[in-house]
């Protein structure tokens, strides 16, 4: 239980940093300078103001300097990051798999909220994912572990090509059919490159399938509720992120269930 607590606290700390990334990266601001400050009054925050979760609750969801409200998003991101960190530790234990998927998950959390707010997936996050995926790929050339089931060295490269390649094809076909109107953002296309490196080709295809299903169901629901129409631009990144995490935790179980049921 002590390890779970430590992992949760570590996740909270990373979640606090992710809040900085989510706010600053779309604004093209440095994530290290200046130090953390209130976005409303600009006052530099002290250590006591930056305790994950607790500072938000102690100061009643307000800045203690200007007393303006703080978005619950900050609390949510910290809590979510802590919980997902614990979930990954529960699934994989203290292994290389855990470290790899933890790194990918942290990047995807930032992608989720940035794309939700700004409908962009910053290149900086894609590059960070590619760097981590490349390190994992090189490591896997020398050490065999459970991320890639068939232990074939080209597995992650195929995953990268299939995931990004499929979405690129959708984008190009959409441009042709809808006279230049974009149906798939290039950020989504690029995002599947690091995902493929981490998941390998089978799990990448599963994540891609789940993301399309989630995106389609959500779009239909929003149209039925009158919140969107056929021309509405709905960010696809959050569905990719959700699908990837589902795949990381239950992917092989889903695949085995499918093969045993329909094959």
Look at residue 105 and tell me if it is in a domain: no
Look at residue 173 and tell me if it is in a domain: yes
pLDDT digits (tens, 9 = 90+) for 76-102: 999 999 999 999 999 999 999 999 999
Look at residue 108 and tell me if it is in a domain: no
Look at residue 59 and tell me if it is in a domain: yes
Question: 142 or 119, which is more confident?
Answer: 119
pLDDT at 107: 98
Look at residue 191 and tell me if it is in a domain: yes
45 in the same domain as 174: no
Tokens 């959050």 belong to residue: 238
Query: CA–CA separation, 188 vs 170, rounded Å?
Result: 11
Do residues 101 and 247 touch, judged by C-beta distance below 8 A? no
Average pLDDT, the chain: 88
Look at residue 102 and tell me if it is in a domain: no
pLDDT at 97: 93
Q: Which residues pair with 37 in a beta bridge?
A: 44
180 in the same domain as 70: no
Q: CA 196, 141, 195 angle in degrees (round to 5)?
A: 10
Task: From 94, 129, 144, give the residue that closes a domain.
Answer: 94
Look at residue 112 and tell me if it is in a domain: no
Cis preceding linkage at 155, omega within 30: no
The C-alpha torsion from 144 through 145 and 146 to 149, rounded to 10°, is -10
65 in the same domain as 142: no
What b/e sequence results for 161-193 when a residue is b if at least 16 CB atoms lie within 10 Å of its CB, and e otherwise?
A: bbbbebbbeebeeeeeeeeeeeebbebbbbbbb
Q: How confident is the model at residue 144 (pLDDT cuts 50, 70, 90)?
A: low
154 in the same domain as 88: no
Query: CA–CA separation, 199 vs 181, rounded Å?
Result: 31
Structure tokens at 199: 């998941």
pLDDT at 4: 96
Task: From 60, 94, 128, give the residue that closes a domain.
Answer: 94
pLDDT digits (tens, 9 = 90+) for 224-263: 887 777 667 789 999 999 999 999 999 999 999 988 887 6
Task: From 77, 94, 111, give the residue that closes a domain.
Answer: 94
How much of the chain exceeds pLDDT 70, in percent?
93
pLDDT at 182: 65
Overall average pLDDT of the 185-211 stretch: 94
Query: CA–CA separation, 242 vs 240, rounded Å?
Result: 6
Count of residues in the chain: 263
251 in the same domain as 165: yes
193 in the same domain as 128: yes
pLDDT surpasses 80 at 183 = no
pLDDT surpasses 60 at 146 = no
Query: CA–CA separation, 260 vs 263, rounded Å?
Result: 6
**pTM to 2 decimal places:** 0.92
Domain extent, residue 178, equals: 119-263
Going from the C-alpha of 186 to that of each of 182, 196, 228, 240, the distances in angstroms are 9, 16, 22, 13
Q: How many domains does the chain have?
A: 2
Which of 64, 60, 25 is closest to 48 using CA atoms?
Answer: 64
């Amino acid at each position: 239980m002590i390890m779970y607590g430590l992992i949760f606290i570590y996740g909270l700390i990373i979640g606090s940093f992710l809040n900085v990334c989510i706010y600053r990266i779309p604004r093209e601001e440095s994530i290290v300078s200046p130090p953390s400050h209130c976005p409303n009054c600009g006052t530099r925050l002290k250590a006591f103001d930056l305790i994950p979760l607790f500072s938000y609750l102690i100061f009643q969801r307000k800045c203690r300097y200007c007393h303006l409200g703080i978005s619950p998003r900050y609390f949510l991101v910290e809590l979510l990051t802590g919980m997902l960190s614990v979930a990954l530790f529960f699934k994989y234990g203290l292994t290389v798999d855990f470290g790899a998927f933890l790194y990918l998950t942290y990047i995807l959390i930032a992608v989720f909220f940035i794309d939700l707010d700004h409908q962009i997936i910053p290149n900086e996050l894609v590059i960070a994912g590619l760097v981590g995926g490349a390190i994992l790929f090189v490591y896997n050339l020398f050490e065999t572990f459970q991320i890639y089931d068939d232990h074939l060295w080209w597995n992650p490269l195929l995953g990268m090509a299939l995931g990004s390649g499929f979405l690129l094809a959708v984008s190009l076909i959409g441009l042709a059919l809808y006279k230049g109107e974009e149906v798939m953002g290039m950020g989504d296309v690029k995002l599947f490159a690091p995902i493929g490196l981490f998941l390998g080709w089978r799990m990448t295809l599963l994540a891609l399938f789940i993301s399309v299903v989630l995106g389609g169901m959500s779009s239909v629901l929003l149209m039925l509720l009158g919140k969107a129409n056929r021309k509405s631009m709905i960010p696809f990144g959050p569905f990719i992120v959700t699908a990837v995490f589902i795949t990381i935790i239950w992917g092989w179980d889903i695949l085995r269930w499918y093969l045993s049921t329909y094959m």
